[in-house]
Amino acid sequence: MRNVVCGVLLACGVLAVPIAMAADGAGDSKAVKSDDGKYMDAKGAPTYNVGPDKTVDWYTYSGFRRYHSECHVCHGPDGEGSSYAPALSNSLKTLSYEEFYGIVVGGRQNTSAGKENVMPAFADNKNVMCYIDDIYVYLRARANDAVPRGRPAKREDKPAGFDKAEENCMKAS
């Protein structure tokens, strides 16, 4: 359910970042642990793994696909933003996983400079929440320039547990 809730928050809305926050609020994005193809950083947050030949891990690839099916309508292709919503490739430079997750799940209203932006809550959208970690990982990779714009050219194979986890999440009430 956590994955579902997080993905929903990102799907179509506004992620504003306080200017006072330090760069890479998500911390060091280096993968230090892997569990069935899911990579984590030193703090245990989901992260990406890009090989020397630019092969991305499965979850970064999945995040690209899910972002472009649910989020790019508002936030633009590749997280680059639009006239409607900010560039998430910039927001993820300072947002931690927990902050990102909370915004996706609960939504957010931002009023500044006479402009009001509203990101709806996506907690009930399984197409976001079941893939929230994947979406975060993809945007984190974009924020750190680890992957270029566009569909990743090479990716790792789908991990053995992916289909089962996806099925369980989609069936959950």
pLDDT, tens digit, for every residue of 70-115?
A: 887 888 787 777 777 777 787 878 888 999 899 899 888 877 766 7
Between strands 108-112 and 46-47, the pairing is unpaired
Q: Residue length, the chain?
A: 173
| Structural domain boundaries, residue 16 | 2-171
Can you give the pLDDT at residue 75?
A: 85
Full pLDDT tens readout for the chain, 173 residues: 444 333 333 333 333 333 233 344 556 888 888 888 999 999 989 999 999 999 999 999 999 999 898 887 888 787 777 777 777 787 878 888 999 899 899 888 877 766 777 788 888 889 899 999 999 999 999 988 888 898 999 999 999 889 899 999 998 86
Can you give the pLDDT at residue 121?
A: 86
Specify burial of residue 107 (Cβ count, 10 A radius: 0-12, 13-18, 19+): middle
Can you give the pLDDT at residue 28?
A: 84
**Residue closest to 152 by CA, chosen among 70, 76, 54:** 54
Beta bridge partners of 118: 109
As for how many domains the chain has, the answer is 1
Look up residue 153 and give its two tokens: 């050219």
